[in-house]
Chain A
């Protein structure tokens, strides 16, 4: 080789250069790359992009360049997977933005009808000033979803109640009031407690058959709590109906009416929502229903406890048909007999709320300390963290954003389980005694024989005496 070079008049320096370059051009046996091409690629990239402090990330640039050589540009499977969820949701939400009908027809009709839809953007502005609520884009989507709800059902009043977080999905909740006469009837289900009673009686009967004795089997002490009569439809806690959806744009599901038994149970348990309405609520004491009922029960409790309005906003009318908004319920222990639970009367001022420990139940705030003239007042509940209310002049609104649990200073204690039921009362009839042994039996028989003989002798002796006498 050197002879050839000498012949071509290449000086040693150039010869070193050629050998170095050819070394750099040797392809790696593992990957097929060669260092020369790799370095030139990396340096081109660096000179094109000119990142800061490139020497610190030089290794990463080099690695990226190597990695990109191997991934194919056509990766259909991966692309499809990534886009599907995002695109699917976007398409669902796109429907929210679709307008109905032609634009010419709309202005005339909308002037006549009073839309039950609240002006959410205005509320959103106030919420933002107060530092509570959801961000603007999400509120717009919620608003459009509410508009959808209004269009599909005949409602007189619609309100965004709030958002409940769940472990897998969240709930957006709308509070509605149906227009009179347009309600949908709800099916009545047989109360489950009656079935329970029947079941326990059956068990008692079975025990009796097994015993085959005339003694009464012990009746189970368990008396199911007397069935609490449901409130009349559309009154009390069921005055408003609630709809939920997992995401704005997804279909709205109507929540069933809440029963007093569910509210009672909901007070005793503390569970996270999962986000699926049909999920079972596994708890002690067993909650009568699924997550859909638990959600409804918590909504009822929160509404009763935290819906407030500025003093004087609502008045009792003489016919009392338009009394709105229930206020606090004081938590009381349940008496054994089903007396109807009575909370404080409607429109009780907040100052009479019960304190939690030594914590005031509400925290009032002002939205801006720097510009107090235009500030709005904000109320945050300490009993139900996440419940907020704001008031600005004549406008006010309540909203709940949170996990749906009450604030508890001490930790949650699950209620005690019921005492174990008594078995069959012990008595001589069923007490076990040892069987007499063979010796004892013999002894007994001997004793009996002796007694019998003695008795016979006695009789014989008497007869003889009688005979002698006679």
Chain B
């Protein structure tokens, strides 16, 4: 959510159990202003918190004019000093998926991941058995001829990858909050007045804030109704599995809250009829892979 007015906006997600202590709010207000100034960002967003075992990380993102392109992510443990996170490359993200378990809270911690490659036949050379962090005992005779390679993943890298993954999977904005200009840039829509109550009850009024994946596969008939300047992102209706979003109205129809069931802890709020909206993630940083069983 926007860092300006953080102390007001955090109230909107309070009903999902996300609150900041007054001390944290005060520290954030000060430090985010400094961050905005020093990084010369157009806007700074308070992205959320990732809870570790020993300590939590506060995450902030600074964006330039084009909000999809220039995003820099910062993390902090005490809401005062912010450190820049390395941008997540594809290789980093693949590796980070192998690290399992909670974040520890120590950014220099390294997860170990052991991979075993069978080097016997040509067919099996491609097979990899990935074991988790606990190494299986070498008492089994099958391990003869296996090479073990240990990959270490730094917690910082994992943090950056998880944040990138969450942004790609569940970061949403209301429809027509962003406009694509003819030269391809994406700007905030200055005349966005909010969704109406009936519109905000439908999942198709919310869109993933990322490059469109499913858009090209739509039929021409469906595309004919779309407005190119507004509908350049995927809507929530195409999300699989269906029902992975929980849409609820608080305060009657005064506030609409969307909670993601895929990444437990991601909350998006919008006040229908106004341009107030925002999102926040407070959680473990682990994807809920049991989702299909739970619905």
Interface residues in chain A, defined as those with a beta carbon under 8 Å from any beta carbon in chain B = 51, 53, 56-57, 60-61, 64, 81-82, 85-90, 127-138, 163, 165-170, 270-272, 357-360, 363, 367-371, 380, 382, 385-386, 401-403, 405, 407-409, 411-412, 414
List of A residues within 8 angstroms of B22 by Cβ: 128-129
Q: Of residues B243, B259, B290, which shows the largest number of chain A Cβ atoms within 10 Å of its Cβ?
A: B290
A167-B261, A401-B17, A403-B264 known; A411-B290 Cβ under 8 A: yes
- Indicate whether B53 reaches chain A with its CB closer than 8 angstroms: yes
Q: Of residues B254, B284, B294, which shows the largest number of chain A Cβ atoms within 10 Å of its Cβ?
A: B294
Contact of A134 among B14, B289, B293, B295 (CB under 8 A): B14
B242 to chain A, nearest CB (A): 11
B253 to chain A, nearest CB (A): 5
CA–CA, A225 to B197, complex, Å?
A: 51
Interface contact B191-A60, CB-CB below 8 Å: yes
Interface contact A272-B191, CB-CB below 8 Å: no
A133-B17, A168-B246, A382-B102 known; A368-B254 Cβ under 8 A: no
- Indicate whether B21 reaches chain A with its CB closer than 8 angstroms: yes
CA–CA, A363 to B10, complex, Å?
A: 24
CA–CA, A359 to B24, complex, Å?
A: 26
CA–CA, A87 to B249, complex, Å?
A: 13
Interface contact B17-A134, CB-CB below 8 Å: yes
CA–CA, A280 to B223, complex, Å?
A: 39
1/0 contact string of B1-19 vs chain A (CB within 8 Å): 0000000001100111101
Interface contact A414-B293, CB-CB below 8 Å: yes
Interface contact B14-A138, CB-CB below 8 Å: yes
Interface contact A85-B294, CB-CB below 8 Å: no
List of A residues within 8 angstroms of B54 by Cβ: 363
Interface contact A359-B101, CB-CB below 8 Å: yes
List of A residues within 8 angstroms of B142 by Cβ: none
B138 to chain A, nearest CB (A): 20
In the complex, the chain A residue whose C-beta lies closest to that of B245 is: A167
In the complex, the chain B residue whose C-beta lies closest to that of A59 is: B191
Interface contact B17-A402, CB-CB below 8 Å: yes
A43 to chain B, nearest CB (A): 17
A130-B21, A412-B293 known; A81-B248 Cβ under 8 A: no
List of B residues within 8 angstroms of A370 by Cβ: 23
- Which residues of chain B from 237 to 295 have any CB-CB distance to chain A below 8 Å in the complex? 243, 246, 248-249, 251-254, 259, 261, 264, 284, 289-290, 293-295
CA–CA, A166 to B285, complex, Å?
A: 20
CA–CA, A133 to B261, complex, Å?
A: 20
- Indicate whether B198 reaches chain A with its CB closer than 8 angstroms: yes
In the complex, the chain A residue whose C-beta lies closest to that of B291 is: A272
- Which residues of chain B from 202 to 223 have any CB-CB distance to chain A below 8 Å in the complex? none
Interface contact A88-B252, CB-CB below 8 Å: yes
CA–CA, A407 to B246, complex, Å?
A: 20
CA–CA, A53 to B22, complex, Å?
A: 36
Interface residues in chain B, defined as those with a beta carbon under 8 Å from any beta carbon in chain A = 10-11, 14-17, 19-24, 51, 53-54, 78, 100-102, 190-191, 196-198, 243, 246, 248-249, 251-254, 259, 261, 264, 284, 289-290, 293-295
In the complex, the chain B residue whose C-beta lies closest to that of A64 is: B191
List of A residues within 8 angstroms of B264 by Cβ: 403
A128-B22, A403-B264 known; A89-B243 Cβ under 8 A: no
List of B residues within 8 angstroms of A81 by Cβ: 197-198
Interface contact A165-B246, CB-CB below 8 Å: yes
CA–CA, A357 to B51, complex, Å?
A: 18
A377 to chain B, nearest CB (A): 13
Interface contact B251-A89, CB-CB below 8 Å: yes
List of A residues within 8 angstroms of B246 by Cβ: 165-168
CA–CA, A262 to B101, complex, Å?
A: 29
In the complex, the chain A residue whose C-beta lies closest to that of B252 is: A86
Interface contact A131-B14, CB-CB below 8 Å: no
18 contacts between A and B (CB under 8 A): A57-B191, A85-B252, A90-B251, A127-B19, A128-B19, A133-B17, A134-B14, A137-B11, A138-B14, A169-B248, A270-B290, A270-B293, A272-B261, A272-B294, A359-B102, A369-B78, A402-B17, A409-B101
Contact of B295 among A133, A272, A403 (CB under 8 A): A272
CA–CA, A56 to B22, complex, Å?
A: 39
A81-B197, A85-B253 known; A131-B190 Cβ under 8 A: no
CA–CA, A359 to B253, complex, Å?
A: 42
B77 to chain A, nearest CB (A): 10
In the complex, the chain A residue whose C-beta lies closest to that of B196 is: A82
Contact of B15 among A138, A272, A359, A368 (CB under 8 A): A138
In the complex, the chain B residue whose C-beta lies closest to that of A411 is: B289
List of B residues within 8 angstroms of A131 by Cβ: 19-21, 24
CA–CA, A136 to B54, complex, Å?
A: 27
In the complex, the chain B residue whose C-beta lies closest to that of A380 is: B51
Interface contact B15-A86, CB-CB below 8 Å: no
Contact of A132 among B10, B17, B290 (CB under 8 A): B17
Interface contact B290-A367, CB-CB below 8 Å: no
Interface contact B24-A134, CB-CB below 8 Å: no
CA–CA, A128 to B289, complex, Å?
A: 31
Interface contact A57-B19, CB-CB below 8 Å: no
CA–CA, A441 to B252, complex, Å?
A: 87
Given A136-B14, A137-B14, 18 additional A-B pairs, CB 8 A: A57-B190, A60-B190, A82-B196, A82-B198, A86-B254, A89-B251, A129-B21, A132-B17, A134-B17, A135-B15, A137-B11, A138-B14, A165-B246, A165-B259, A170-B15, A385-B284, A407-B284, A409-B101
List of A residues within 8 angstroms of B196 by Cβ: 82
Interface contact B190-A56, CB-CB below 8 Å: yes
Interface contact A412-B248, CB-CB below 8 Å: no
List of A residues within 8 angstroms of B14 by Cβ: 134-138
B17 to chain A, nearest CB (A): 4
B244 to chain A, nearest CB (A): 9
A357-B101, A363-B53 known; A412-B253 Cβ under 8 A: no
In the complex, the chain B residue whose C-beta lies closest to that of A52 is: B190
Contact of A412 among B21, B101, B290 (CB under 8 A): B290
CA–CA, A357 to B133, complex, Å?
A: 10
List of B residues within 8 angstroms of A368 by Cβ: 21, 23
B32 to chain A, nearest CB (A): 17
Interface contact A165-B16, CB-CB below 8 Å: yes
List of A residues within 8 angstroms of B11 by Cβ: 135, 137
CA–CA, A104 to B24, complex, Å?
A: 43
CA–CA, A169 to B246, complex, Å?
A: 9
Interface contact B19-A359, CB-CB below 8 Å: no
